[in-house]
Amino acid sequence: MGNHQMTTATVKAETGSSIISPVIENSTVESMPITINVEYVCKSNQDGFFRHMALPPTVAAGDSYEQVINYHKEILKEKLEYITDYTSIAGERICLLQRFTDIWITDAKGHEVTEIGPSSLRHDKTVAKYMENKDIFRPIRKQWPARVVITSGIAGIGKTIYVKKFLLDWAMSKTHQEYDFVFVFPFCELNLISEESLSLMHLVQQHYPHMRQLDETYLKDSAHSLFIFDGLDESRFSLDFENNPVCSDITKPVPLQSLLTNLIKGNLLHSASIWITTRPSTIHRIPSCYVDRVTEIQGFQDEEKEEYFRRKCQDEQLTEKIIALVKKQSSLWMMCYVPAFCWILTTVLEHAFKSSYAEEFRGSTVTEIYTNFLLVMVTYHHEHRGHGKEKIDRICQLLQSDRAAILSLGKLAFQYLKSHTFVFYEEDFKSFNIDISSICSGFCRQYDIEYSPLSHRRVYSFVHATVQEYFAALYIFVAYHNEKQNLMTCSILGRFWAIFSKPTFFQVCKSACSEVVRSQTGHLDLFLQFLCGLGKCRMQKCLQGLLTHVEELTDDLKNTISYMKRLLQTDIPAERCINLFHCLTEMNDKSVVKEMNESLHQGVLSSKKLSLADYSALAYILKTSDMDRKEFNLSTYRISPDGLKRLLPVIKSFEKITLSGTVMDEEMVNSMSALLLANKNQIKELCLINNTLGDTGLRNLAAALMSSSCRLEILHLCRNDLTEQCGTDLISILRTNRVLNELDLTYNQLKDAGVKQLSVALQDSDCEIETLGLWGNEFTHCCCEELALALKTNQSLRRLDLSCNIIGDLGMKLLCASMKDDGSKIEKLGLHWTGLTEGCCEDLTSVLRTSQSLTALELGYNNLGDLGVQQLSAALKDPKCKLRTLGLYCNNLTSACCPDLADALTVSSTLTELNLSSNSLQDSGVTSLFAALRNPQCTIQEINLKNCDLTAACGGDILSVLRVTHILRELNLSANKLGGTKNKLKRLSQQSKCKLHL
């Protein structure tokens, strides 16, 4: 002891046993440090839901119901309250509630990370409704709670941590207290027992050892339980919902997949709620008929990105540096909507800014970020202190010592990436000769699964799918660089040729490109980006410990760039085109993007015929920009069908798409249909104006409009050469689409036959249309009987525009008869230019007196005359009249109708807007109107007297109104001969709150 050597005492115990040992803190004996380690046979891991440091006492059979619930909560709380970061100092624990950052989750009506989507854009909270944690199971349509909910999200988006937060909130009695019990089962753990037969009771007790004495009465229908199944995408067994036998006994052993299907279908424990998390690619494995709600985790918004950086890196100055650097790199900032990527980025940047090469670090490409992540984690793995932030002068030696393990891990990553496998087991590592203890915990996460107090098994995955892609690319690059092998060559001829000639890096990249562009899922997109980026000398210098030398690959990179540019001109999927631009960025080539940016700034794209490469460049620019996502006008770019396909991955994230003046041939219609059916499309409004769609085009578009994937709410089809022949398709669309609420068919030729068919659709109870525009469709009173029946029965239609059609008094009589009925919900009715005379005013008067919904009536460009308006004025005075807006412009009115109208203005308590323009009211007529406007009882806020033959003689009345009224907000007196009075009116209007048009 005289040499003061460190003395270490180790106490070993099996899980479930008791340990009595001294606790000595910050103490020495004669300057000799003392360390006491307590080792467990089964180690706990922060990623396992169902392990505990020592198996707690089980629930006693005699415990009360509340005791069982509270004990279960205490166990969960202790397990979930703290998490361990992959770069934590030994013994460091991080409070989940302090680290957790809110993520964007909504109802859910390429490559997972780089795919453009709501999550990677600036959100408008008024458009995409944010769903709080507590609302996952909220009642649907205010009727019944959702029983089965699926939450989808890409890799690393926060599904598992979101589940943990949900569980912790329940365990702490903060939220979700409607559930008596909550149990969670990761699919990666269920894989290990997929061949077993077990009961629901056994499943719960096996995964929650503290409940091994749980009485079956606690899980009966009287208890409200929530079962969470996390990570359906990691499941290695199938779920057969059609052929599995029915099971309703929670104590009866059945195969695991049968147990799960019966639980989801409600045969087993019908009162229980089910929550399943998955990646989007596997959501189809649960039939939609068994799912009540689908939600989507969309990651961080811009504010949450910054919040995460601040929570992860507690050094305020360092945090600001990190945020500033990431924001400069739009591609990095865009990818930060994925929490796992934020963690990787923060880990790298914390190290970079505190290391000796901080000034050299650029962080301009994704490859550089992940290469530095590799260096940081390897350093941390060896040093075990300082969070990997110490100097890395020895990094070359460290990489050399870990070369075999890193490359073996890369080989595993590559082989399993090609087969879409993201979860591994110990036998998988053994098959690739990987020593698990040599693998840095920063690259892989570990789940410990307990079967009994003395047996457990471990499951592994990369910390994020992109880390697996990086290791796969690193493996391919090192194989080429050190051994001149092209492992991307799949053909026998290619492999044979490689025996006699050494491949170039260009050939490796070309082989990779060929495979990547054929992919429908995009699971190799980032792999290709990494492979291209690793060819740069800068990256090779960082990886000298893995590489035998540094090789100048300038010519190979140039050839790869040229090859990719040629690929952009060929017929390949749009998502893969955008990825090629990411690859070009990794190789520091931005020539095509620069040229497109210049064209955008010069505003010449509307007159320039764009190539396929140009469209892809435009899509890449739109994707990586911070532009507003409200509206995208395709007409600006002389769009072609192929061009629309190239833009599809980006423009599907806009809320409104406009296309006008275009030949809508079959190919263009098919491209538009693909846009409406695109996954995760956010398009709410489509404006197809002044095109050649025609009846055939609408028939082809109808399939997309009737699909449940279509989220369109507003459809404008103005001037599209539609005739009565499209009536059948319109009926199908209105009956099937429950989202569409506004349809504008202005200036087509539906005529009477077409409107009759449309009226049939409106009578259907499934029709949800609220706004219908039929202006200028050349129909007459002959279709009004069917239309009147539709108005009487339809419960959703609120706004109807029949303007510029020859309805006449006879047609108006039929419509008014239905609108007097309580069934009509029409609020706004447009009747401009419909051939009306004073003969229909008695019917209109009856509607105004009885309708409880009509608030806006437009009657401009008709011939109601003074007698007609006098009748309407009498109705306006009726206290039952709800009208707020009345348009009477250009109706051959004179001063004779003004006294009656003035009386109505002083009596009506609802009318706020009146348009009398283009009528010869003259000074004598408006005198009574101005008197009414001065009356305190008058509610008029806007009045239009444009072109009413007024002169300066009425100036005094106008001035008096402006001085007295406090309600009038807008007065239009333009196109009148007011002479010198105008100057006085202008001066007074500046002091008044009333907006004056002269």
- Report the SS3 class of residue 500: helix
Instruction: Flag whether pLDDT at 128 surpasses 60.
Output: no
Higher pLDDT, 568 or 363: 568
Higher pLDDT, 441 or 552: 552
What confidence score (pLDDT) does residue 130 get? 58
What confidence score (pLDDT) does residue 303 get? 87
Instruction: Flag whether pLDDT at 299 surpasses 50.
Output: yes
Instruction: Flag whether pLDDT at 354 surpasses 80.
Output: no
In Å, what is the CA distance from 463 to each residue of 83, 424, 468, 761?
15, 12, 8, 53
Instruction: Flag whether pLDDT at 45 surpasses 80.
Output: no
Full DSSP string of 14-46:
-TT---------S-EETTEEEEEEEEESS---T
Residues 365-372: what's their mean pLDDT?
88
- Where are the extended beta strands (E) located within 393-542? 424-425, 444-452, 455-462
What's the pLDDT band for 762 if we cut at 50, 70, 90? very high
Higher pLDDT, 185 or 59: 185
What confidence score (pLDDT) does residue 472 get? 95
Q: Which of 833, 826, 738 is nearest to 777 (CA)?
A: 833
Dihedral pair phi/psi, residue 648, rounded to 5°: -50, -45
What's the pLDDT band for 499 if we cut at 50, 70, 90? low
Q: Tell me the C-alpha distance between 606 and 815, whole Å.
A: 46
Mean pLDDT of all residues belonging to the chain: 82
What's the pLDDT band for 500 if we cut at 50, 70, 90? low
What confidence score (pLDDT) does residue 943 get? 95
Instruction: Flag whether pLDDT at 125 surpasses 60.
Output: no
What confidence score (pLDDT) does residue 213 get? 61
Q: What is the pTM of this model?
A: 0.70
C-alpha angle 270-273-275 in degrees, rounded to nearest 5? 135
Torsional sign, CA 140, 144, 145, 147 = negative
**Which top CATH class is 807-822+831-997?**
alpha beta
Q: Tell me the C-alpha distance between 328 and 363, whole Å.
A: 10
What confidence score (pLDDT) does residue 626 get? 66
What confidence score (pLDDT) does residue 905 get? 94
- Where are the extended beta strands (E) located within 231-371? 254-255, 273-278, 293-299
655 close to 685: Cβ distance less than 8 angstroms: yes
What confidence score (pLDDT) does residue 835 get? 95
pLDDT above 70 as % of the chain: 83
What's the pLDDT band for 329 if we cut at 50, 70, 90? confident
Instruction: Flag whether pLDDT at 600 surpasses 90.
Output: no
Dihedral pair phi/psi, residue 713, rounded to 5°: -110, -30
What confidence score (pLDDT) does residue 58 get? 52
What's the pLDDT band for 157 if we cut at 50, 70, 90? confident
Q: Tell me the C-alpha distance between 721 and 58, whole Å.
A: 75
Token code pair at residue 914: 């009146």
HSE at residue 298, side-chain half, CA atoms within 13 A, is 26
What confidence score (pLDDT) does residue 143 get? 61
Instruction: Among 86-95, 222-231, 341-350, 728-737, name the most confident range.
Output: 728-737
Instruction: Flag whether pLDDT at 372 surpasses 90.
Output: no
Q: Tell me the C-alpha distance between 370 and 402, whole Å.
A: 17
Higher pLDDT, 829 or 331: 829
What confidence score (pLDDT) does residue 408 get? 92
Higher pLDDT, 695 or 573: 695
Residues 12-32: what's their mean pLDDT?
41
Token code pair at residue 839: 């003969």
What's the pLDDT band for 219 if we cut at 50, 70, 90? low
- Report the SS3 class of residue 588: coil
Q: Tell me the C-alpha distance between 43 and 456, whole Å.
A: 10
What confidence score (pLDDT) does residue 635 get? 85
Instruction: Among 277-281, 446-450, 759-763, name the most confident range.
Output: 759-763
Residues 584-588: what's their mean pLDDT?
90
Higher pLDDT, 602 or 802: 802
Least confident piece of the model among 494-503, 562-571, 706-715: 494-503
What confidence score (pLDDT) does residue 770 get? 94
What confidence score (pLDDT) does residue 987 get? 83
| Contact partners, residue 32, CB within 8 Å, separation at least 6 | 1, 4, 5, 6, 7
Second CATH level (architecture) for the domain 68-108+129-299? 3-Layer(aba) Sandwich (3.40)
* Bridge partner residues of 863 (DSSP): 837
Residues 30-47: what's their mean pLDDT?
38
**What are the start-end ranges of the H helices in 255-338?**
256-265, 302-312, 316-328, 330-335
What confidence score (pLDDT) does residue 108 get? 60
674 close to 648: Cβ distance less than 8 angstroms: yes
Q: Where in the chain do CATH 3.40.50.300 domains reside? A: 68-108+129-299
Instruction: Flag whether pLDDT at 661 surpasses 70.
Output: yes
* Owner of token pair 């991080």: 94
Instruction: Flag whether pLDDT at 16 surpasses 50.
Output: no
Higher pLDDT, 92 or 694: 694
What confidence score (pLDDT) does residue 129 get? 53
630 close to 657: Cβ distance less than 8 angstroms: no
Token code pair at residue 319: 């945090």
Residues 519-532: what's their mean pLDDT?
87
Tens digits of residue pLDDT in 917-952? 999 999 999 999 999 999 999 999 999 999 999 999
What confidence score (pLDDT) does residue 490 get? 66
Tens digits of residue pLDDT in 445-471? 776 665 554 456 678 888 888 889 999
Burial of 437 (0-12, 13-18, 19+ CB in 10 A): exposed
What confidence score (pLDDT) does residue 477 get? 94
Higher pLDDT, 387 or 518: 518
Least confident piece of the model among 221-230, 316-325, 808-817: 221-230
Least confident piece of the model among 345-354, 733-742, 744-753, 845-854: 345-354
Higher pLDDT, 935 or 38: 935
Residues 48-62: what's their mean pLDDT?
44
Torsional sign, CA 938, 941, 945, 950 = positive
Q: Where in the chain do CATH 3.80.10.10 domains reside? A: 807-822+831-997
C-alpha angle 256-258-263 in degrees, rounded to nearest 5? 95
What's the pLDDT band for 496 if we cut at 50, 70, 90? low
Residues 644-658: what's their mean pLDDT?
89
| Contact partners, residue 940, CB within 8 Å, separation at least 6 | 905, 911, 912, 913, 914, 932, 933, 967, 968
What's the pLDDT band for 535 if we cut at 50, 70, 90? very high
What confidence score (pLDDT) does residue 53 get? 32
Instruction: Flag whether pLDDT at 142 surpasses 80.
Output: no
What confidence score (pLDDT) does residue 92 get? 58
What confidence score (pLDDT) does residue 759 get? 93
Instruction: Flag whether pLDDT at 364 surpasses 90.
Output: no
Least confident piece of the model among 28-32, 655-659, 963-967: 28-32
Q: Which of 415, 47, 443, 430 is nearest to 231 (CA)?
A: 47
